[in-house]
Structures are given as structure tokens and as C-alpha cells.
Amino acid sequence: MLSHLPILQVILPLVAAPSCLIIRRATLVWLFTLGVCLAALAVSALLLQQVYTTGPISYALGGWDAPWGIEYRIDLLNAWVLLIVSGLSSAVIAAAHSSIARELAAGRQMLFYTLYLLCFAGLLGIVATGDVFNVFVFLEISSLSSYALLALGRDRRALWASFQYLIMGTIGATFILIGIGFLYMMTGTLNMADLAARLPAVSGTTTVLAAFAFIFVGICLKLALFPMHLWLPNAYSYAPSIVTAFLAATATKVALYLLLRFTVTVFGVDFALASLPLELLLIGLGLAGVFAASAVAIYQVDIKRMFAYSSVAQVGYMVVGIGIGTATALQATLLHLFNHALMKGGLFLALAGLVYQVGGCRIDSFRGLGRTMPWTMAAIAIGGISLIGMPLTVGFVSKWYLVAAAIDAGLWWVAILVVLGSLLAVLYVWRLVEAGYLQSPPEALAMIRREAPLGLLLPTWLLIAANLYFGVDTRLPVAVTAAASQFLLGGAAP
């Protein structure tokens, strides 16, 4: 049983998804989905524990050995990402029941849970697999289901946002597929480890270079790296709140994982650095993203959209970490992967609570929120403080590592810009705090607003508490990411 964990991780939600259609009762479906997510979480925790103690696990799908068969290969990097994805998905789905009941028509709820599980399975598959074509398959599974999830939004503009995402996402996926095709053409293999072994022999060719470029751009599209981020704010702001929380906490993380996997494992840092000015490109685009997106976020009226832009900015930080490329910097990226998932998960769930009560989350509806919905507002304030990177929150931990990595690598200007970027976060977060605590509620809203239902509030606070807990007790994330970044750079495996 334990040796089948890698495939169990993916197959569980994949098989469970159609079963949702059989159950039909909303509450039951919700409980079922929650159960599946929790089971996946348990599996990923077991996997991480196993990998941490005994080293990478290789699982041959259907008994066909790698490089011919499909290999699932779990090392510290993807075990870590699997844990993040399944943990956050569980927390988000725990909050889904009341919010989905309010935001979606009764007939569509089942559809939501089915798509959620499909998308979840796709994301887990991308992370778990060690086969590049398999990556593409799961990428399509997760993408197609996320287009549909986005389109469930009540707002008619959700359709347009979903269509926009469909176009961009498809271009991204196609690019990745073209890249994979080129790689297959040159090496005759699709297995990642095998590719890594065979690529150096042909690394001088234009085809490999083109493959790398295609894959790089394709992933950056999915990642919403500036300036390829334009689909993201629309998608996040018009989707149902739960979907936003889910995608914000998981989808971009998985795309970032892919970027890391391809540049570091498949192509290898040496090739990536030699063929493209990758260091400069990633640091430059990352920082540009931080500043452009944060500056735009400051002026947003719709708060979901504001946090969407903030997500683009945070992706920028993670990419800067990859660009610096030292062990500490990669560790900063991996830490921020986890930390940002906690922040944005908590924040978007808190916004779901607001949407539940008010029906929207424009800045106006924040006025006086500290009095009418104290718990929701406090969650947003703490999540925001974590986003700024105040000490004793997770945001501080990742910022510390990133700035330390930049200074250590002699890149003072990067350190300064990273720090300045987090000051922009102060500006957009503080608008909310000011509105929530210092302004009195508008009269039209003062009557109807009450605290969000407990079912929403508990998962929100679970994530917010995690923001504080992992900001103080950093042993788990720091130990795992330190080992993972060492492993990635080919140092001593744990």
C-alpha cells in the first residue's frame, strides 16, 4: 500500500470526481469532496515524511519501468509542493459549503465539486509525475476544469474572463507541448531524469534552445509572470470566491513548480544560464512585476482584483528567487511558495465571507467592517500584515531569506528593490485597514451585515492562524525547503 502512495495521490481525486455526479445531494457531495481532499492531504504528508527520511521515491506506472513507462518521481521539491496544494485545497473546500450555496445556483453545485476535484487531480498530477508528456496531460486536465470553474461565476463578465484565460492558457499549453515535441525529437525520451541525462549531448542545437524558449514562455503564461499576467486579475475577480481562493493558493504555485522543475532539473541550471540571460531576465521581470502589479493594486476598487494584482506581484518575488539562483534564494522561493499560499488562501477566504454577507467586495463595503464583521476584518488585517512581511508572520520569513540571498549574492540593488516592493504592499493593505477600522459603515449596509457563517470563518482562521504559527515556529518549512534547495542544486541529498 505504502509503495503505491505516489499514484494514489493523483488517482484518488481523479476517480472521485465523477462520483460526485452520482451523489447529487449538495451537503453530501461537499462532505465527500472534503473527505477526498483530506485523504489526499494525508497521502502527501506521508509522502513528504517518507521522502524526507529515505530519499526520492520512484514509482513505475503500470509496472513499466522508466524511461519507457511513465514514471512518478517524488523528491523533496514536489513532495513539498504536493503538501502545499493538497493542504490548501482541503482548507478551501472546507469553507466551500456555505459560500457555494450562496453564490451558485442549486443545479450547478454538483458541477462545482466535480470540477474542483478534477482540477485538484490535474494539479497534483503535474507535480507528481516525472514524465514531461504526462505533465502536459495533467496541465490540460487542470486548465480545462479551471476554465469551467471560472465560468461558474454569477457575474456575466466571468464568461469573458474565463474565455480570456482559455485563450491565454491554451497558448501557454501549446507552447509547452511544442517545446516537449522538440525535446522528444532531439532525445527520443519523455522521462525527465532521462532527458536531463541526454540533453547535454545535444544542448548546442537550435532545436533545444527553441524547446527551452517555448517551454519557458508557456510556463510563464500559466504563472502569470509580468508582462504575461493580464488574464489573471479578470479571472480572479469574476470567479466564485471559493474558486479564486483555490486557484490563488494552488494554481500559480504549481506553475512555479514547473518553472523550477524545467529550468533546474530538466535543462539544468548551466544550460539555462548559458543559453539565455536567464538570471537577468527572471530578476528583471520579477521585479518589474512586483512594482507594476503592486502599483496597479493600490488603485483597485474591487478588492478581489486588488489581491489578484498582489498575487502577480508575489509571483514576482518567487521568480526573483529563482533568478538569483543560489541555494538560499531557491529556499526563499520555496518558502514563499508555501507562505504565499497561506496568505492568499486566508485572504481570499476572508473575502468570500464578505461576499457572502454583502454580495461584493468593493472598497466601499469595507467601511466600518471592523465593527460589523470583526472576525473577518481581523483576518484580512492579519493576512495583510503577513503580506507586508511584518515579523512573526510567514511573510517576514520569506522576505528575510530573499533579501539575505540577494545581499549574499552581492545584488544589493535587488535587496533594496525587494524591500521597497513590500512597502507598496503597505499602501494597498492599509487602505483596507483604514476603511475597516476608521470609517463608519455606510447606512445602507449597516443593517444587513453580520459576521460570516462559522463554516467559512473557521477555515479562514485556520489559514490565518497558520500565517502566525509558521511565522514563529519555522522549523518544518525551513528544514524542508533548505533540504529541497540543496537537493535541487545537486548538493548532498538529505
Partner 1 sequence: MNDSTLVQLGLLIPLLALVGIQLTARHANLREAVSIIAGTALFAVVASMYGPVIEGKEIAVHWLDVLPGMALAFRIEPLGLLFALVASFLWIVTTLYAIGYMRGHGEENQTRFFSLFALSIASVMGIAFAENLFTLFVFYELLTLCTYPLVTHAGTDKARRGGRVYLSVLLGTSIGFFLLAIIATWLLAGTLSFKPGGVFAPGTSAALLSVLLVLYVFGVGKAAIMPFHRWLPAAMVAPTPVSALLHAVAVVKAGVFVLLKVCLMIFGLETLRSIPATEWLLYLAGVSILLASIIALRQQNLKKRLAYSTVSQLGYITLGALLATSAGATGSALHIVMHAFGKITLFFCAGAILVAAHKTEIGELRGIGRQMPVTMTAFLVASLCIIGIPPTGGTWSKWYLMLGTFEAQQWILMALLMASSLLSIAYLLPIPLRAFFGGNSANGFDSEPSLLAEQGEAVAIREAPLPSLIALGITAIGCIYLLLYPDVFYLLIKAGI
> From the CB of 105, what's the least distance to partner 1, in Å?
41
* Binds partner 1 (CB under 8 A): choice among 219, 388, 394, 456: 388
* Binds partner 1 (CB under 8 A): choice among 79, 312, 397, 457: 397
For 18, 56, 101, 124, 307, the CA distances from 111, given in Å and listed in that order, are: 10, 36, 12, 20, 26
* Binds partner 1 (CB under 8 A): choice among 404, 445, 465, 468: 404
Q: Which is nearer to partner 1, 89 or 331 (CB)?
A: 331
Considering only residues 148 through 207, tell me which ones interact with partner 1, judged by CB under 8 A: none
Q: Give me the DSSP letters along 321-368.
A: HHHH-SHHHHHHHHHHHHHHHHHHHHHHHHHHHHHHHHS--BGGGGTT
- The residues near 354 (Cβ < 8 Å, ≥ 6 apart) are 361, 365, 366, 369, 373, 376, 452
Q: Which is nearer to partner 1, 90 or 485 (CB)?
A: 485
Alpha-carbon torsion 39, 150, 244, 440, what sign? Answer: negative
* Binds partner 1 (CB under 8 A): choice among 11, 39, 273, 419: 419
Q: Which is nearer to partner 1, 26 or 390 (CB)?
A: 390
Scanning 72-80, 262-270, 341-349, 382-390 for contacts with partner 1 by CB under 8 A, the matching segment is 382-390
- What does the DSSP 8-state code read for residue 265? I
> From the CB of 283, what's the least distance to partner 1, in Å?
17
> From the CB of 414, what's the least distance to partner 1, in Å?
11
Q: Which is nearer to partner 1, 270 or 473 (CB)?
A: 473
CA 265 – CA 76 distance, rounded (Å): 13
Are the C-beta atoms of 100 and 242 separated by less than 8 Å?
A: yes
> From the CB of 326, what's the least distance to partner 1, in Å?
12
CA-closest candidate to residue 279, choices 389, 421, 405, 423: 405
* Binds partner 1 (CB under 8 A): choice among 52, 184, 400, 469: 400
> From the CB of 317, what's the least distance to partner 1, in Å?
14
> From the CB of 126, what's the least distance to partner 1, in Å?
31
Are the C-beta atoms of 190 and 132 separated by less than 8 Å?
A: yes
CA 322 – CA 337 distance, rounded (Å): 12
Q: Which is nearer to partner 1, 98 or 398 (CB)?
A: 398
472 binds partner 1 (CB under 8 A): yes
Residue 465, classified by CB atoms within 10 Å of its CB into exposed (0-12), middle (13-18) or buried (19+), is: middle
Scanning 31-39, 208-216, 239-247, 392-400 for contacts with partner 1 by CB under 8 A, the matching segment is 392-400
Q: Which is nearer to partner 1, 85 or 406 (CB)?
A: 406
Considering only residues 422 through 461, tell me which ones interact with partner 1, judged by CB under 8 A: 422-423, 426-427, 430, 434, 437-440
CA 76 – CA 42 distance, rounded (Å): 16
Count interface residues toward partner 1 (CB under 8 A): 32
* Binds partner 1 (CB under 8 A): choice among 185, 201, 274, 416: 416
403 binds partner 1 (CB under 8 A): yes
Largest Cα separation within the chain, whole Å, is 71
> From the CB of 417, what's the least distance to partner 1, in Å?
11
| Residue 362, beta-bridge partner list | 302
* Binds partner 1 (CB under 8 A): choice among 35, 359, 391, 490: 391
Please, what is the end-to-end C-alpha distance for the chain in angstroms?
24
Coil, helix or strand for 410? coil
> From the CB of 243, what's the least distance to partner 1, in Å?
32
> How many Å is the Cα radius of gyration of the chain?
21
Angle at 318 (CA atoms; ends 317, 319), nearest 5 degrees: 90
For 20, 130, 316, 419, the CA distances from 290, given in Å and listed in that order, are: 40, 31, 5, 11
> From the CB of 343, what's the least distance to partner 1, in Å?
17
Q: Which is nearer to partner 1, 361 or 403 (CB)?
A: 403
Q: Which is nearer to partner 1, 101 or 427 (CB)?
A: 427
Are the C-beta atoms of 53 and 33 separated by less than 8 Å?
A: no
CA 317 – CA 217 distance, rounded (Å): 18
- The residues near 345 (Cβ < 8 Å, ≥ 6 apart) are 88, 91, 92, 245, 248, 249, 463
> From the CB of 315, what's the least distance to partner 1, in Å?
20
> From the CB of 370, what's the least distance to partner 1, in Å?
10
* Binds partner 1 (CB under 8 A): choice among 31, 201, 420, 493: 420
466 binds partner 1 (CB under 8 A): no
Considering only residues 201 through 260, tell me which ones interact with partner 1, judged by CB under 8 A: none
Scanning 112-120, 263-271, 421-429, 449-457 for contacts with partner 1 by CB under 8 A, the matching segment is 421-429
The dihedral formed by the CA atoms of 147, 151, 153 and 156, expressed in degrees to the nearest 10: 140
* Binds partner 1 (CB under 8 A): choice among 407, 445, 465, 468: 407
Q: Which is nearer to partner 1, 122 or 383 (CB)?
A: 383
CA 49 – CA 40 distance, rounded (Å): 14
Residue ranges in contact with partner 1 by CB under 8 A:
385, 388-392, 397, 399-400, 403-404, 407-408, 415-416, 419-420, 422-423, 426-427, 430, 434, 437-440, 471-474, 478
